[in-house]
Amino acid sequence: MKRKLKHFDSPFVYYRNYENPYNIYRGRDGNIVTTDKAMTPILGESLIVNTSYEKDDKNPQSRWNHIAQVGVIMDRATPEKALATFGPDHKQLAFVVNWVSPIVKISYDFMAIQGGEIEKVHRKPLVEDIIDAATGIRIALTNFDEVDS
C-alpha cells in the first residue's frame, strides 16, 4: 500500500533545477525525474521539487522559465524510461514520480546552479512560492526539515 502525501513538510525533500525548462514538461509527461546526485529517497514519502531557472544578468525580470512542480518519489525507473523521456542527455539515476502540484510560475529571484542544485537559503521560500502559486494560499512553513540534495 502506497502512502499518500499529507503535506509539504516532508522531512525528505530533494531539489533539482533543470537548465532546460522543457525538461520540467518532459518529466511531468513521463512521470519521471533523473539526476546525477546520489539520492536515496524513501519511496512513497520523499518529495522532489523541480524548478527551471535561467539567469539573465542584464534583465533578471525577463526570465520566462522560472517554473516549478512538486512530486512524491514513488519508485526507481529504468534507464530505458529515462532515455525515452529525456533523450540522450538524461542523468544516471531515474525515479518514478507522482506529481502533487501543477507546473506553476514562481518568483524570479531564487538562486540556483544551472542544471543543478538550489541554494539552501532559497529552498524554504521557494516551496512557499510553489504552494502559493498552486493553491492561492500564502503560508509560512515552520516545520521544514530537508535533506541536502
- d(C-alpha 80, C-alpha 89), whole Å: 13
What are the pLDDT digits (tens) for 1-59? 333 334 455 557 788 888 777 888 999 999 999 988 888 888 988 888 888 866 566 66
Provide the 3-class DSSP secondary structure of residue 105. Answer: strand
What are the pLDDT digits (tens) for 58-107? 665 555 557 888 888 999 999 999 999 999 878 889 999 999 888 888 77
What are the pLDDT digits (tens) for 114-128? 556 677 777 777 777
Burial of 144 (0-12, 13-18, 19+ CB in 10 A): middle
User: 13-135 maps to which CATH number?
Assistant: 3.10.590.10
Give residue limits of the domains in the chain: 13-135
Indicate the helix (H) or strand (E) that contains 128.
helix 123-135
Q: Which three cell numbers stand for residue 44?
A: 512513497
pTM of the model as a whole: 0.73
Ordered DSSP codes for 59-74: -GGG----EEEEEEEE
